[in-house]
Each structure stands twice: as structure tokens, then as C-alpha cells.
Structure 1
């Protein structure tokens, strides 16, 4: 059965500036959503609904006020297609991804702010986790995945907008559907964009890390990207923000599910001895990880030794080299 996905990227906020008349745009949000839709298309059996500031499923917006789409009703419509389906089951898994401005009504939730927000006086939003929680007690899907690249700040006490008009009854016998939720930042904290896309184009730091994890950087020892390994990868270390704080991802729920099977990325490690000198080329070094357990060997080539590695703590030994190496979410491919 084909899985389903709703992917939303809101980058154009024409009146969300402080005075209610100036823009407060996010240059990377639409590209982030398109990158996520592309990953789903090529790596999962998923039918994707893509909603962005510029188009809905590839078709330009044809309504008036083109500068302020999507609005709440546009996003609600995508979810309601599943709610009104006559089929007892719509798909095995529902993915929901959002990129845009956001707010946090509480630690476990996030609200995506819509494109027609006006300063601080009118902030239409949708509490997307509320949809996930509702579906968890229904029979439409067995697994629910939510990734939100949005801020988790509480600048003002905005009213959250939950799904409306849904019967408060469970059609699914216990237990509820599995849920995996991950947010770009912790409660009360900002998320950030940066020049990390192709050619230095602006992208969301969380989305970049998420896609790297899904593409293999978060694979466990068996090459599987599962809930636990992806959650650890997303939480592991902060990303430098555009302000004074670092961005740390939050994962409020991580029921076990498989996202991808991938080969681990290949990391090059400088073959440094404790005195700073390099061990000779051709020397065979051993990399171990007692927690797995794992033991790999490779020769030094031009001062480097290369291994395919997942997230974890490793020890490199041989030829006078004795180093601890930690592979995390922000570890570069070349480790000096």
C-alpha cells in the first residue's frame, strides 16, 4: 500500500514583519520542502502532496493575494482528504514535513505560522502535532512521522489552532499508531537557516541535518536508519545558529520504525600520533567500537585512513596512533 506525505514549505511572509506591513521571509523554506519531497519520491513508496509559497503540487497558486499562500485552509484541505476517505486504511505510513515560521504552545508541540500572518496582531497557525495525535487513534495509518523545521519560541501567547470539527472518538483499537516526531529546536528556542545548500544557497540547518541522517549518516551498525539512530543523530551536538545561541533538535516521541537502509558515509581520519606527527603510509590501523562490537582495519594513505562509519564513539589504534573519534550530526567528512 502506498504511503502518504504532506510536505509544506512557507518562505514568503509578506506582512509578518514587526510593523505588520513589511516582510519576514525565509529564503530556504521552499527549497527545504522541495528537497524533502524529492527524498520521499526517490527513497520511499510515497505519494507526496507538496504545498509551498510558490505552488501546490507543482501548479502555481491561481487565487487572489498570491503573495500570502498557503493559508490555514490550504493545509487543512490536505489533511481532510484522509479524514473523509471511505477506505478503512489510507496507507501504512503518513509523513508530514513543515518548514516555516513557528511557535511552541508547549514542549511537545509546534504550530506552523501561515503566510498571511500580519505582524504580532494576527498570527494564523496550525498545530500540526494535533493532527498526528488524532490520526494515532484512527485506523488510517499504522505509522506517523512528523518533521518540523520551525522555531519553538513563545514570544507572545498566541492561540493555537487545532484541527476543527473532528469527532473525539477512536476508531483504532489499542495500541495507538506508532509516532516519530522531531522538531528543529527545543522548547523556547529558535531554529536557523544558513548558507549550506548547493553553491552556498540558504537552507534550514535542521533539514540539512535530517536529510544527511536519512541518507546514511544516521545509519546504525547494520546500515539501518531507524527511529533510535535518527533521534540520536538529530540530538547529537548543536548547530551554530545565526545568532548567539546554538540550535539543538528536539525529539519528543520516537516509536521504533525503519526509515532507510543505507551504506555509512566514508570518513577520512588523520593518522596523528600523540606527539602530532603522522604515522607512516601503509601502516595498518584498527578502529574499534566495543559498544557494537566492531573492529575494522585500513592502511594509511597520504596521512589519512578511511572508514565507513555510523554515529558513535570509536578508538583508532596502531603505529603509535591512539585516538578517540566521535561521529555525530555535525562531524565533517575529514577529521583532522
Structure 2
């Protein structure tokens, strides 16, 4: 049976800004679509997609110009079919991804703010991790994955909205299901959206990093993207080499990382400019060797047009040979061409 996924991208907030004006997130819907593409093509998951413009491929049907979607009931409705399942498990894994405005009721949780929020007076929200907590003690899924590209702003004056009245339809004996949870930023910090997409389109920094990691940049020594390697990749610094606002200091937080396999991928290939200690580019044909302490294994390759290429995972490497001594740190946002 295919894994299941619920993907939510809220980019339109027509009344959540100052003085009741808009406070939109231009990249949230596309981020949701990009994650949906990965889930369908790589995880082979059956995805329920909810965005500001559609629900599972159908445009929202609104009755007046003031109606905006999605609202809390729309999101709850995506979970309800699984709640009502009382038979054998629905699937091995449930993925949940959200992009939108958010708040943090506490360090280990996040609430997704709904599209009908109005200024600071009316902030409907849904605590998505509460759904994960409930399913962890039920039999519908053996593994639960939650990725939230939302702010961790402390807004204690707002009441968290949790799913309530849930029956133990398929109570699981201990231990609970495995859980992997990752948030875009730490408690009390904002997430970042900016012109980091292809050709400068707005995207969420966390989602961009998440997809790079799942694409192979977070693979471990076996070429597997697992909980531990993905968590380390997501935690790896803020903006790194990406062209984002200099004031950005975003570190993903991973409250729970039970071991599970996400994907088996070959490492991405990086081109490295080969320079000698005096700054000159090494001539073509120069043999250089790449090592990764403390791993004794090494790889060698000739310089071509001033570059050398290796498939690399996250880590610290040393390039050496014929006057070349260079340390290379491969991280979450390292560009494919390393000057």
C-alpha cells in the first residue's frame, strides 16, 4: 500500500497584516507543490494537497469575496478519513508538510495560522504536531513524518487550537509509532522566505534545504538519507552561501528523530576549483587527492580546465597534491561549483 501525505501551503493572508491589510507569503504555495512533487515521484506517496488556490486539484468554491481558504476545518478534513479507519493500518508512513505563517505555543510544537486570520485580534490556527501525537498512539501508521516551514514566534496571548474529541479507534500497544519532526526555526525565531528559488523566485529557506537534503545532499556514507543525516543537514547553519538577507539567522530544530529511511540517493557532484597555496590554478593533468578525516579512504582525479569533480556528502574534506592543500566543508547550502 502506498504511503500517505498531507501537504498544506498557505500563501494568501488577505487580512493578517498591519491595519487589516494583506500579509502574504509568495513562496508558500510553490514550496508545497515542490514537496508534493518529491512525495509523489520519490516517496511514491498518495498526496492530499491543500493550498490557497486548490484542494486536491480542485479550485476553492467560495460564495463571497470575503471568503478565504483554507480554514481550520479544511485542514482537519484531510486527517479525518484516517481517524475513522478502524481496520488494519492505512499505510506504513504518513507525511505531513506545512508552509505558512505560524506561532510556537511551546518549544516542541508549532501552530499553522489559517488564511482567515485578521490582524492580531483573530488568529485561527491548528497545532499540527497534536495530530502527529495522536496518530503515534494509534495503529493507522507505523511511521509519522512532520515538516513545518513556519515561524516559531512566541505569541502566548493566542490560544492554540488542537484537534479534539478524537476516539481511540485503533489504539496501538506500546511502543508508539516512529516519529520524525522538523521545524523551520527555533523557539521564538522567525523562518525565512526570500528570493532563493530558481531565477530569484521567493521560496522558504527551510523547504529549499529540505529538498536539497532529500535530493541526496543529506545522504550518509551508505548513500541513504535517514533521520539522523537529514536532521544534521537541516540543523547545519543558517543561510550559508545562499544570497539571503544578511540579518537572517535561521536554524532548523528537530524535536524528534526516530530512525527511518527517507530515500537512497547517490551523492551530488561538486566541482572544486583547484588552486595551489600561492593562489594559482593548478595546471590540467595535475592529480589531486581527496580525503575525509578520520576516514582513511581517499579518491584521486586529474584537474581539467582548472576544476576537479567529486560526488560528496555532507562533511569536511581535504584536497591535496602538487602544491594544493585545501579544506572543503560541504554543508546544507554549499553551491555545486566551489571556487
Range into which the TM-score falls when normalised by the shorter chain:
over 0.9
Cα distance change, pair 131–65 in 1 and its aligned pair in 2 (3 A): farther
Q: 2:109 is matched with which residue? A: 109
Whole-Å separation in 1 of the counterparts to 2:169 and 2:106: 24
Whole-Å separation in 2 of the counterparts to 1:73 and 1:22: 24
Q: 1:235 is matched with which residue? A: 235
Q: For residue 319 of structure 1, report the CA deviation from its aligned partner.
A: 1.0
- Whether 1:318 and 2:321 are equivalent positions in the alignment is yes
Q: 1:199 is matched with which residue? A: 199
Cα distance change, pair 23–207 in 1 and its aligned pair in 2 (3 A): same
Q: Which moved more, 1:117-126 or 1:78-87?
A: 78-87
Q: TM-score, normalised by structure 1?
A: 0.96
Cα distance change, pair 172–233 in 1 and its aligned pair in 2 (3 A): same
Q: 1:284 is matched with which residue? A: 287
Q: For residue 63 of structure 1, report the CA deviation from its aligned partner.
A: 2.9
Q: For residue 290 of structure 1, report the CA deviation from its aligned partner.
A: 2.9
**Aligned structure 1 segments of 4 or more residues deviating by more than 4 angstroms:** 240-243
SS across alignment from 1:37: helix
Q: For residue 292 of structure 1, report the CA deviation from its aligned partner.
A: 4.2
Give CA deviations for 1:221-265 in whole Å, capped at 9, x if unaligned: 211111111111111111275472311111111111111111111
SS across alignment from 1:210: helix
Gaps of 5+ in 2: none
Cα distance change, pair 252–271 in 1 and its aligned pair in 2 (3 A): same
Counterpart selection for 1:265 from 265, 268, 278: 268
Matched-pair contact (CA < 8 Å) for 1:124–1:161: yes
Q: 2:34 is matched with which residue? A: 35
Give CA deviations for 1:309-332 in whole Å, capped at 9, x if unaligned: 000111111111111111000111
Q: 1:84 is matched with which residue? A: 84
Q: Which moved more, 1:273-282 or 1:26-35?
A: 273-282
Matched-pair contact (CA < 8 Å) for 2:140–2:170: no
Q: 1:297 is matched with which residue? A: 300
Cα distance change, pair 293–16 in 1 and its aligned pair in 2 (3 A): farther
Q: Which moved more, 1:267-276 or 1:5-14?
A: 267-276
Q: For residue 95 of structure 1, report the CA deviation from its aligned partner.
A: 0.1
Cα distance change, pair 30–323 in 1 and its aligned pair in 2 (3 A): same
Matched-pair contact (CA < 8 Å) for 2:16–2:117: yes
Q: For residue 279 of structure 1, report the CA deviation from its aligned partner.
A: 2.0
SS across alignment from 1:167: coil
Gaps of 5+ in 1: none
Whole-Å separation in 2 of the counterparts to 1:294 and 1:211: 29
Whole-Å separation in 1 of the counterparts to 2:2 and 2:52: 26
- Whether 1:118 and 2:118 are equivalent positions in the alignment is yes
Alignment of 1:173-192 (within 5 A): 173-192=173-192
Q: For residue 205 of structure 1, report the CA deviation from its aligned partner.
A: 1.0
Alignment of 1:140-219 (within 5 A): 140-167=140-167, 171-219=171-219
Cα distance change, pair 212–168 in 1 and its aligned pair in 2 (3 A): same
Cα distance change, pair 65–223 in 1 and its aligned pair in 2 (3 A): farther
Q: For residue 128 of structure 1, report the CA deviation from its aligned partner.
A: 0.5
Give CA deviations for 1:31-55 in whole Å, capped at 9, x if unaligned: 1001111111111121100000000
- Whether 1:255 and 2:258 are equivalent positions in the alignment is yes
Q: TM-score, normalised by structure 2?
A: 0.95
Q: 1:274 is matched with which residue? A: 277
SS across alignment from 2:81: helix
The alignment's C-alpha RMSD in Å is 1.6
